[in-house]
Amino acid sequence: MDFGKAIRKDFPIYGRYAGTGLFCYLDSAATSLKPRVVIDAVKEYYEAYSTNVHRAAYSLAERATEEYEGVRAMVAQLIHAPRADEIIFTRNTTESFNMLARTYAEHFIKTGEGILLTEMEHHGNLIPWQELARRKGITLHFIPIDSATGALVWDAATFGTFLKERNIKLISLTHVSNVLGTINPIAKIAAIAHEAGVIVAVDGAQSAPHLPINVQDLGADFFAFSSHKMLGPTGIGILWGRYELLEKMPVFMVGGHMIDDVMSTRATYRAPPLKFEAGTPNIAGTIGFGAAVKYLMDLGMDNVRDHEKMLLTAARHRLADIPGISFLGPMDAEDRSGVLAFTLAGVHPHDIGSLCNEAGVMIRVGDHCARPLHKKLGIPASCRASFSVYNDMDDIELFADVLKTVQKKLSAIPVSLSHDAVSAGNN
Amino acid sequence: MTLYRQEIIERYRFPRYKGVIKNPHAQAEKINSFCGDEIALFLRLNDEKSQVAEARFDGQGCALMTASADILCEAVQGKTSDDLRKFSAEDLLQIYGEAPSPGRLKCLLLPYEALKSATTLL
């Protein structure tokens, strides 16, 4: 299967910057580039059948409904969900977690009970729980991480007891850390959680684009992810949940589309997933996402994983001899996905980001929406390069060369500026 | 076009106005919580207390923040407190010379914010 340079022809943005030498995109963990098939699918909807869904009295709207609903089956196939009607369309992963917090958790978790997160969560899987905890008097607990290895610190032998003692009712954790790259042992955690009657929600924003996903093997009860990080349009996300849980959950946003019958003072609602999709949905985005899912499945998620693992290994190797570089997360490529975060002693991440940009290399700098994790690591910010199907060894080579130049340019400064610096005034 | 012309890099690596003034006439600290940059700015007036005799900064941050602080300390020497009150962000950007991207503007302006706070104490 072709990757890297061989498939860049599928991504129009590469053509736009061809020959400039200024398009080395290494920020796919923030959002991915889009292939022509996705752009065309969106364009085709707007040009050929831009009609509303679920209200077809005419054939164009029937086509829109079929295309839109057809994406549920494709997504179900991608993540090995048992049923297509377990796929709820949201705006993004963050909205999926807000929905979960406002519906399942709001209804079923009671004051004094607990929710378990981890120290490596993205804010999207943290703030909704903070707000819920505040509203309902629920306690948040966190599985710690080992700063050196980037792994969760937990003990399978005592985990069940821990859950019962803390009265934990829900675990919501990331499958893959967007900073450390760590692939968490979801299946092991979920097996023990289920024995203890605990529901498991998984943030798949950084795993669904890069790993083969089987929500049943993972033992997840809910699984959330975003289209835009996996070659699809922005503004469309997924919340998958086991159907019997979705049936029990109260509604989230309410209004048109999601109703069954409406009287003046009350209404009844449709079955899942439609009861969670109020108003006209992101039809174009969903159809575009369908094209992205097909593109990824044609590549094969096992092949995607192998390609990105190769790039990750090569990048670590090429960057390893840069003075002062320090990688975050697990050492072994088997234990992590294709995001590579690092710090460079004596060089500020924002300077690295700006100087890389001047050389056409796009990386992310900052806290990557994971500020508690950075606090735990004792650093205000880090740099992060992340890989996808269109990246190739030329990206790694250029990035390594640029980073070496940046390091030489800025590093020879006193690293600790500070409080013992020369006293200038004398009065 | 680079945000890191030679002068900026030199001021970052070898800042001319880095240090602490003991018993300053005014002092202010600012932190950029997004990137962890922190700056303390110190002002000492002349004997007549009419002008800034000396300005120094301390702290840690990126090259743009550090160079900006260094340029600012140089620029305010000899200024009256009235001058300082009138000194605008645009004035600093003009002396700095490069227009930063919106994402980096905060880095350049952190020392300026410290100056504004310190000025209120004069």
Please give the Cα distance from A363 to A244 (Å, whole number). 42
Contact B104 A350 (CB under 8 A): yes
Provide the sign of the torsion angle of the four alpha carbons B42, B13, A352, A407, taken in this order.
Answer: negative
Q: Which of A379, A409, A423 sits opposite B22 (nearest CB)?
A: A423
Residue range B6-119 in CATH 3.90.1010.10 = yes
Rg (CA), chain B: 13
Q: What share of chain A is helix, strand, coil (3-state, %, to 5)?
A: 45, 15, 40
B3 touches chain A (CB under 8 A): yes
- Tell me the DSSP string of B26-58: EEEEEEETTTTEEEEEEEEE-TTSSSEEEEEEE
Nearest chain B residue to A421, by CA: B19
- Predicted confidence at residue A420, as pLDDT, reads 41
Evaluate whether residue A427 is within a structural domain.
no
- Predicted confidence at residue A426, as pLDDT, reads 37
Q: Which entry of A24, A356, A369, A383 is annotated as an active-site residue?
A: A369
Residues A233 and A377 in one domain: no
Residues A281 and A363 in one domain: no
Please give the Cα distance from A138 to A126 (Å, whole number). 14
Q: Closest approach of chain A CAs to the CA of B91, in angstroms?
A: 23
pLDDT at B114 exceeding the cut of 70: yes
Q: Among residues A297, A320, A350, which one ends one of the domains?
A: A297
- Predicted confidence at residue A144, as pLDDT, reads 98
**H or E element, residue A75:** helix A59-79
Residue spans of the domains in chain B: they are 6-119
B104 touches chain A (CB under 8 A): yes
B60 touches chain A (CB under 8 A): yes
User: What's the total number of domains in chain A?
Assistant: 2
Could you tell me which residues are beta bridge partners of residue A116?
A141, A171
Residues A167 and A310 in one domain: no
Q: Which of A410, A413, A421 sits opposite B19 (nearest CB)?
A: A421
What CATH number is attached to the domain comprising A305? 3.90.1150.10
- Predicted confidence at residue A325, as pLDDT, reads 96
Q: How many CB atoms lie within 10 A of CB A426?
A: 9
| ipTM of the complex, rounded to two decimals | 0.88
Q: Which of B13, B34, B56 sits opposite A424 (nearest CB)?
A: B56
Strand B52-60: give its sheet, edge to edge: B26-32, B37-45, B52-60
- Predicted confidence at residue A56, as pLDDT, reads 77
Contact B107 A350 (CB under 8 A): yes
Among residues A402, A291, A406, the alpha carbon closest in space to that of A26 is found at A402
Residues A172 and A321 in one domain: no
Evaluate whether residue A318 is within a structural domain.
yes
Quote the tokens at residue A98: 């807000």
Quote the tokens at residue B77: 């020497």
pLDDT means per 10 residues in chain A (427 residues)?
94 96 96 98 98 91 96 98 98 98 98 98 98 98 97 98 98 98 98 98 98 98 98 98 98 95 96 97 98 98 98 97 95 95 94 95 94 92 97 97 94 49 38
B111 touches chain A (CB under 8 A): no
Please give the Cα distance from A268 to A23 (Å, whole number). 52
| Best mutation target, A27, A352, A354, to test chain B (most B CBs within 10 A) | A354
Containing domain of residue A128, as a range? 39-297
Identify whether B102 is preceded by a cis peptide bond (ω within 30 of 0): no
- Tell me the DSSP string of A356-411: HHHTTEE-EEE-TT-HHHHHHHT-S-EEEEE--TT--HHHHHHHHHHHHHHHHHH-
A369 is an active site residue: yes
> How many angstroms separate the first and last alpha carbons of chain A?
72
**H or E element, residue A325:** strand A325-327
Residues A69 and A23 in one domain: no
Contact A421 B36 (CB under 8 A): no
Nearest chain B residue to A365, by CA: B35
Residues A25 and A69 in one domain: no
Please give the Cα distance from A75 to A91 (Å, whole number). 15
pLDDT at B113 exceeding the cut of 50: yes
Q: A294: which DSSP letter?
A: H
Contact B2 A358 (CB under 8 A): yes
Q: What share of chain B is helix, strand, coil (3-state, %, to 5)?
A: 45, 20, 35
Contact B3 A366 (CB under 8 A): no
Q: Among residues A278, A297, A316, which one ends one of the domains?
A: A297
Please give the Cα distance from B70 to A413 (Å, whole number). 15
Q: Among residues A250, A277, A297, which one ends one of the domains?
A: A297
Residues A305 and A293 in one domain: no
Q: A85: which DSSP letter?
A: G
Amino acid at B117: S
Chains A–B, number of C-beta pairs less than 8 Å apart: 88
Q: B-chain residues within 8 Å CB-CB of A350?
A: 35, 62, 64, 104, 107
Q: A-chain residues within 8 Å CB-CB of B58?
A: 417-419, 421
